[in-house]
Every structure is written in C-alpha cells, then in structure tokens.
Structure 1
C-alpha cells in the first residue's frame, strides 16, 4: 500500500511549486523536476524527510548541490518519513545504489515503531491498543495523559517534578524501545545501500541539546509532548547519532538557525501570506504567517555548503569512472 501523508503542494501552492512527480518503481510522489536519464555513478541521491524535500523553499539543498556542482541530484525527501519508511521501499534501491553519493538525513524518531504504536515509518501512528490512527503528537500526548492520570495521588509540585525530570516509567519504556528500533532501522537502511554515503545532521539544535522554539535544555522532559519531542529531529539524542555515525562513510553537521523563522510570501505578488495547514492535514489545522518549523532557505544554503567535502569526493569518483578506458572482449 502506498501512503502519502503529504505532498505539500495544495497547502503551499501560493509560496512554491514543488513540481511533484510519481516515481514509476515505487508509486511514491517526490519533489521535482523529475530526473532525466541517470548514468550510474554520475549523480547524487538525497534521502530524508520534509527537511530534505524542502518545504517552503524554492531551492532546497539538493537543488543547490546540483546548481553548484553540475551533477544531477535526486531529491528523495518524503514528508513525515523516518528510516523505517525507506526500508519498506526497497524498490528505491535501484536508483539509490547507482549513485556516486547518497546523503542520508538524520530523521525523526517519532516516525518509528514500538510496542504501543505502529508507524510504517511515517509520522502518522496506529495505536495498537485501539486501532486509531493519529498524528504522532496526538498519540504521544495521549500516552503522557494516561501516565499523568496514574500520578494523580501525588501532590501537585511532586507530580510536576516527575513530569519534567524523571518521567513516568511506561513512557520512558516506550521511548527507549522507540530509540532502539530507530537505530536498528538505520542499520538496516545503511546495510542495504552499497553506494558511498554521508550522514547529514540538519537541525537548529545540536544532538546533545533538547530544545524547542521557546527554550533549550540538555535533559529529556516529559511535562509536555512538544517538550518531550524537542526540535527536529524529534526524540533523537547524542547517543543515537553516535550509534549510527559509523554506518556512513561521512558525517556532516549542519546546525544552523539562519533565516528562521521564515516569513511566508506569495510567489505571485511578493506580499505576505498566511498558510492554512488544515488544507494538508485536518489534525494540524492552524494558519501561520511564518515558517518556524522547516529549515529556512538560508539553512538550506548552509547545508549545501556543509556537504561540500563529500560532494567533491563524489565528483572525483564520477570523473574517474568517466575516464576509465573501455575494455573489449577477452584477450
């Protein structure tokens, strides 16, 4: 079954045309323009979630890499994706494994399976206890509320301290399981990729910081679902990144907040606009005049610069392949 959380096109049409196309192998829709004929070893693949896709950005980092280095770049960013999503679609390996370089984004762990929620690798979870399908924030918010109800016998200040610092045991158990599964999904994903790889950390925070737009701290919190998730990539901490770094040939850190929040303006008139997120997901109904979540265009520029070293090596490999002498039959 092909699932689409979002193509973002209807929601964001006033701001950017994503030129979506359907991949004939998987049936999935990706950001265009659709790649022309690709020669093995002569292109780059960027694999990730909405940050790689480039929401609200006319020229996301895959497009910038193509412009700056003159090598075709395939953008396989997919809204709401975690590593498990790509292991579910091995049909994409044909294009992935013929690349000169595969940039693999560090994706959110809220799009990972555990014993309470089934994800399919996307940020839209099925509660195994009820069968209900809800957004990850609503799912984990309900889990926190259930745990908080069991602490009702504690005095208010003590209950608040538990929520902020220690966390309910059942919530801690689910998060620990989720994180282990996320690491395992990355191990499975990298094991399936035979092309050279670069792991990309693209975020407004360092892996060791657990932050939101409002504050930052170094510990895991449990008093609020957004505080528990932290900024993108949600639920991912330093130990998780350390666990998957050795799986890739290169590791690139693009921690930047430049240009964020991004004012949203019409591509037709240049005037400020408000985006109705409910046009895309009814569970996320809210109008916004700025993008404070997805990477800004300036952050994409910073990311393209950060990727210069592995891309340069990919170009060298591609050049070596082009100059290899052609061999005839057996001598």
Structure 2
C-alpha cells in the first residue's frame, strides 16, 4: 500500500544536525557508539519517503549501529568539506559512500550551494564565454540551468559535461582520502553504471547523473570494494508501493527507490560489510 497524505502529515524524519555540521540528517539522533558503520550519501541513503532505508536494514544482519549520514539533494561537496561528518566517518569501522551525481558539485564552470548541492549559485566567466547567449540570472537550480544550456548547444555542453566528470573524480578521491576509514563505494540506482551513455546530454536521466562505469572503476583502487545495486525489475514495478508521502510529493516519490529497492541494497551490502568487519 502507498501512503499518500493529502494534508500536511507525512513521514517524520526527526531531522537533526550532527555536532557542528550544518547539514540536516535523518533522526532520531544517536551518539556514535564505540563500534559503528557510517553511511554517507544523498536522497537515496537518507531514505526519503521510506520508513526503513538501507542503513536501518543493515543493523540487524551486521549486529552494529549504522549511522545514516544521508542528506536530501546532497552531492559530493556536501561531505567533502564538512569536518563533523568527516570526523564521524573517520571514526567508523567502515564508511559506505553512495555514488552521487556529477552535476551537484562546484567546478570551473559553475558553483553550487555548499550544503544544498542542487542549488545553483553562480557561473564563472568561462561558462559565460561558452554560452554568451544564456541569461544565467534566471536559474535557481542546477538541473534547470544544465537542461537549458544542453538544449542550446549539445556540442558546447560536451565541454561542460567532461568538466563535471573530471571534478567529480577529483572530489571523490578527496572525500575518500579525508574519510580515512575503509570505504565501501555503493552504486544504488535504477540502472547499472554500464547503461549510462558516455556522450548523453540528457540531464533528466536517473541518478547518479553523468557517472559512468569508467568513473566508478577509476575509484576502485582507492576503496575497500565497490557494491553495485541496480533495482530489480520487481522493485521498479513496485513504483511508490509502501512509500509514505503527501499528494504533492508524488512526482518526487516516483523517482526514488522504494522499500523493496532498499531491501535489495541492504541484502547486497550485508555480506560484503560482514566480510570486511571480520578481517
């Protein structure tokens, strides 16, 4: 059953801030125990519209606390410069880091909000020189801006797309290095990293946007392992079954993993994490 809430009621995420961090995490607030796993990621790790996201589901098979540091609409930038989260991740036995989209981080062409990485802040002179006909003052969200410039000139957009990918790899390497603890890189999406065409300009494709197999493999030497979870046909067919949201949130809910997909992520992660914890 899907729980659509016509009024203001919805899922209570009990949001809180961890230590000195300005990011909002899903509660309830729990102080880190001596032995725990940290899960960093975006809206999927946060588990928006889902009663029990995969970090919660991992606790029973692992027998350990799994702290959920997922942040709605976060990209790599949200974590790479957050001292409180990095300290918590460094103190964990393992850190699960979700693969997030390459569009939601600052680069040589544009800057995003340091915490709400889906928010467009400013463009550089380089961006203006490549797209002189575009009025960037009309944009508030990165997706809207990228859709517009991609439609204007796919050939020029290719330069921007490669910059996003280059910046993503550099920032991910920095994040992994700053965490320090063994990192399990998690691909959690509707599709596998093999299915994203490297030359696409489609900015409404499923997350993680613009991330390819080659990019994931480039990070493999820096992490303990990579776990890939592409939602099964059954999970995709569920649609919003079992999700909790208000009527106005239905379009957003349809684009996010539901309870079955989260269960599949936990099932794939659990044996891998157990093996690493037992070493």
TM (norm. structure 1) is 0.72
Structure 1 residue 120, shift from structure 2 partner: 4.2
Of the structure 1 ranges 129-138 and 117-126, higher mean CA displacement relative to structure 2 is found in 129-138
1:21-40 correspondence to structure 2 within 5 Å: 21-39=16-34
Larger radius of gyration: 1
The superposition leaves residues 258-314 of structure 1 with CA deviations (integer Å, 9 ceiling, x where unpaired) of 4335336786xxxxx75314xxxxxxxxx54x8321111101101001112332135
Which is richer in helix?
A: 2
Secondary structure in structure 1 of the residue aligned to 2:187: strand
Q: Structure 2: which 5+ runs fail to align?
A: 129-135
The match for 1:115 is 108
Deviation at 1:13, TM superposition (A): 6.5
Q: Within the alignment, does 1:190 sit opposite 2:176 as a pair?
A: yes
Q: Distance in 2 between matches of 1:117 and 1:82?
A: 14
- The correspondence for 1:220, drawn from 199, 217, 222, is 199
Give the drift of 1:145.
3.6
1:98-247 to 2 correspondences below 5 Å: 98-120=91-113, 122-128=117-123, 129=128, 130=136, 133-147=139-153, 167-168=154-155, 170-210=156-196, 218=197, 220-222=199-201, 224-226=202-204, 230-247=205-222
Q: 2:239 aligns with which of 259, 262, 265?
A: 262
CA distance change for structure 1 residues 259 and 133 in 2, over 3 Å: closer, same or farther? same
RMSD of equivalent CA atoms: 2.5
SS at match of 1:21: coil
Q: Within the alignment, does 1:17 sit opposite 2:49 as a pair?
A: no
1:37 to partner: Cα distance: 4.6
Q: Alignment length, in residue pairs?
A: 260
Residue 304 of structure 1 pairs with residue 276 of structure 2: no
- Contact 1:199-1:250 within 8 A present in 2 as well: yes
Aligned residue for 1:48? 41
1:276 aligns with 2:229: no
Structure 1 unmatched runs, 5+? 1-9, 148-166, 211-217, 268-272, 278-286, 318-331
| Correspondence 1:303-322 to 2 at 5 A | 303-316=265-278
Provide closer, same or farther for how the CA distance between residues 37 and 47 of structure 1 changes in structure 2, counting only shifts above 3 A.
closer
Change (3 A) 1:132 1:184: farther
